[in-house]
A = this chain, B = another copy of it.
Amino acid sequence: MTSRMRTEIGEQPEALRATFEALLPRVSELRALAERTRQVLFIARGSSDNAAMYGRYLIEARAGRLCAMGAPSIATTYRAKLDLNGVLAVAISQSGRTEEIVESLHWAADCGARTVAVTNGAGSPLAEAADVALVTRAGDELAVPATKTYTTQLAALAVLGVGLGANVDVGEIARVPEEAEKLVAGAGADLDAIVERLATVQGAVVSGRGMAFSTALELALKLKEACYLHAMGLSYADLLHGPIAVVDDDTPAILVAGDTGPTLAGTVALARRVTGAGASAYGIGGGAELPAACTLALPGPDLPEWLAPIGLIVPGQLLTEALARRLGIDPDAPRGLGKVTQTD
């Protein structure tokens, strides 16, 4: 039987096409809203927070604005009053109904911020609360692990980056859905072998840098929530500051990179270091160079670095779904989780 998660992975090309079509015309609206703001504050949790990490690198690296990853507890638990004049607050929530996120966006506005919502929930409290709501067109998502709602959040954040003046070629967006189509068809010849190997270990390090760091965090979350794997998501550099000690025979590294970009060389070097120490490295993306340095590898999208994360997570989603089934877990309903998480 096909899992709901696998079906929803396959719906991503169409969801991305619909989302870009709906949101690209709103670039000028975003540009107007962002006038007289200088920084960006992201407010999100879980997969949405991983999407925010993509937005953060895109906007800092290409649009020259400082981004902060907000801590919702500052708003909802400490109830602190921050000076947010000149700040564009961007809240991201699949449902648009996570109270903590809705409350944090109201708080940001009270502190002086202009506000954007990114949500799949048209008419949700989050969409209603924001100055500008970017509603993704993922359709209903029923499996607990987010897939198409995550990649369409990335699409919305790519549009936000364009609205904030990112130095990118907007025309490249048109190729995203067709690249996603190639990726959802299957993760390549090494998938089964990686699944078999991960089925025998307790943990893994998942690493990437810069724009691809978001993919590493999201894949680590997926592997934790759907496969109960001790997956530790770390940036390439943070990994070298201590946690590299944890990589060994029983703890492989999964390394993610775009086909191009300034972080590829470091990721390839990390793969060589891991395999040189006798441990396994499994690559995702990274053109021809990363697979050559890895034990096994899954191809990524043929997209420029700034759009690559939208495709890079797809092989990771397929890996997660296959590993969950291999372990006898229903990927659609892992233990302990509901579709909308409420935290205070």
Residues of A whose CB lies within 8 Å of any CB of B are 38-39, 41, 45-47, 49, 56-57, 60-62, 64-69, 71-74, 77-78, 80-84, 87, 100, 145, 202-203, 209-210, 213, 221, 224-226, 228-232, 235-238, 240-248, 251, 262-263, 266, 277, 334-337, 341, 343-344
| A245 touching B224 in the complex, CB below 8 Å, given contacts A62-B80, A69-B69, A240-B343 | yes
Q: Give 29 pairs: A residue, B residue, CB < 8 Å, sorted on A.
A: A45-B237, A46-B242, A47-B241, A49-B241, A57-B78, A60-B71, A62-B80, A64-B83, A65-B83, A68-B69, A69-B69, A71-B210, A73-B235, A73-B237, A77-B209, A77-B210, A77-B262, A78-B210, A145-B242, A202-B203, A203-B230, A224-B243, A225-B245, A228-B251, A230-B246, A237-B344, A241-B341, A242-B337, A244-B336
Which residues of the partner chain B approach A39 to less than 8 Å between Cβ atoms? Answer: 39, 66, 68
Q: Are B229 and A242 in contact (CB under 8 A)?
A: no
Q: Which of B49, B83, B245, B336 contacts A238 (CB 8 A)?
A: B49
Copies in the complex: 2
Q: How far is the CA of A229 from the CA of B205 in the complex (A)?
A: 12
Q: Which of B47, B71, B77 contacts A266 (CB 8 A)?
A: B77
Which residues of the partner chain B approach A242 to less than 8 Å between Cβ atoms? Answer: 46-47, 145, 221, 224-225, 337, 341
Which residues of the partner chain B approach A46 to less than 8 Å between Cβ atoms? Answer: 238, 241-242
Question: Which of A60, A66, A336 lies at the interface centre, i.e. has the most chain B CB atoms within 10 A of its CB?
Answer: A66
Q: Are A82 and B64 in contact (CB under 8 A)?
A: yes
Q: Which of B83, B248, B266 contacts A66 (CB 8 A)?
A: B83
Interface SS majority for chain A: mixed
Chain B minimum-CB-distance residue to A343: B237
Question: Which of A49, A74, A145 lies at the interface centre, i.e. has the most chain B CB atoms within 10 A of its CB?
Answer: A74
Closest chain-B Cβ to A265's Cβ sits at a distance in Å of 9
Q: How far is the CA of A216 from the CA of B195 in the complex (A)?
A: 31
Which residues of the partner chain B approach A61 to less than 8 Å between Cβ atoms? Answer: 74, 78, 80
Q: How far is the CA of A66 from the CA of B81 in the complex (A)?
A: 10
Which residues of the partner chain B approach A344 to less than 8 Å between Cβ atoms? Answer: 237, 266
Question: Which of A60, A209, A210 lies at the interface centre, i.e. has the most chain B CB atoms within 10 A of its CB?
Answer: A60
Q: Which of B66, B145, B230, B238 contacts A84 (CB 8 A)?
A: B66
Q: How far is the CA of A46 from the CA of B234 in the complex (A)?
A: 11
Q: How far is the CA of A241 from the CA of B95 in the complex (A)?
A: 13
| A80 touching B64 in the complex, CB below 8 Å, given contacts A72-B237, A73-B210, A263-B73 | yes
Closest chain-B Cβ to A45's Cβ sits at a distance in Å of 5
Q: Are B230 and A202 in contact (CB under 8 A)?
A: yes
| A245 touching B74 in the complex, CB below 8 Å, given contacts A60-B82, A66-B84 | no
Closest chain-B Cβ to A77's Cβ sits at a distance in Å of 5
Q: How far is the CA of A309 from the CA of B246 in the complex (A)?
A: 25
Q: Are B246 and A229 in contact (CB under 8 A)?
A: yes
Question: Which of A46, A67, A241 lies at the interface centre, i.e. has the most chain B CB atoms within 10 A of its CB?
Answer: A241
Q: Are B203 and A336 in contact (CB under 8 A)?
A: no
Q: Are B245 and A228 in contact (CB under 8 A)?
A: yes
Which residues of the partner chain B approach A232 to less than 8 Å between Cβ atoms? Answer: 224, 230-232
